[in-house]
A and B are shown apart, each in its own frame.
Chain A
Amino acid sequence: DVKVTQSSRYLVKRTGEKVFLECVQDMDHENMFWYRQDPGLGLRLIYFSYDVKMKEKGDIPEGYSVSREKKERFSLILESASTNQTSMYLCASRGGAGGAETQYFGPGTRLLVL
């Protein structure tokens, strides 16, 4: 079974703090993704990576950065947290770029920025 883990289930941070969200997958997947999920808006792609050290902006990259130094690990960084970044953050990984390859999601990190 594919396992995607995220470093925290719940986080509370203050405005202006630097926040690190870690994601690790154990299936040697090339592709990894960071989404945020907000009520009524669904999942929105923040960044994705298709290889080590490679990253691409998603639909809402502003205020975020990412790091992929190792294949199994994809980190999301909030350089200076703001209240509008309060959300559920979901990491996902996928083995291939095409076909019926589904994404496997981590359990999510619920971030509250005060």
Chain B
Amino acid sequence: GQNIDQPTEMTATEGAIVQINCTYQTSGFNGLFWYQQHAGEAPTFLSYNVLDGLEEKGRFSSFLSRSKGYSYLLLKELQMKDSASYLCAVRGGDGGFKTIFGAGTRLFVKA
């Protein structure tokens, strides 16, 4: 079957670095997305990886290893506003129409 696993919750301190892991098993692979979702709001796009390696975008970086079915989202210089859920999502091989989402990781940033 198809499955995406990520931790349910994480807590980190303002100013610190946090890494949110995601492992996936899907039928086909056309890219991996990370989304941020604040409580009561819509998910918003953070990053996209289709090749192995690290993609850096400001305070956020995302890493992909296709052979291991593994990705992580790295958040640096954490701010209180980073408290949100982070969703890992994989676009499958069915013509790329479907995207499978993980249940999300709730990140709490404390002062």
Contact = CB atoms under 8 A, between A and B. Distances in A.
A106 B42 contact: yes
Classify chain A's interface size: 20 to 34
A17 interface: no
Contacts of A74: none
Contact of A98 (B40, B96, B104): B96
Interface string B22-50: 00000000110100000011111100101
B97 A103 contact: no
Interface in A33-70: 35, 40-45, 48, 50, 56, 58
Contacts of A45: 98-99
A58 B98 contact: yes
A48 B42 contact: no
B101 interface: yes
Nearest to A49: B97
A105 B42 contact: yes
A90 interface: yes
Contacts of A99: 31
Contacts of B96: 97-98
Contacts of A90: 42-43
Contacts of A56: 97
Nearest to A33: B99
B58 interface: no
B98 A42 contact: no
Given A102-B45, A107-B41, A107-B42, A97 B33 contact: no
A102 B42 contact: no
A98 B40 CA distance: 29
Contact of B48 (A4, A58, A102, A105): A102
Interface of A: 4, 31, 35, 40-45, 48, 50, 56, 58, 90, 97-100, 102-108
9 contacts: A42-B4, A42-B103, A48-B98, A90-B42, A100-B48, A100-B50, A102-B33, A107-B41, A108-B41
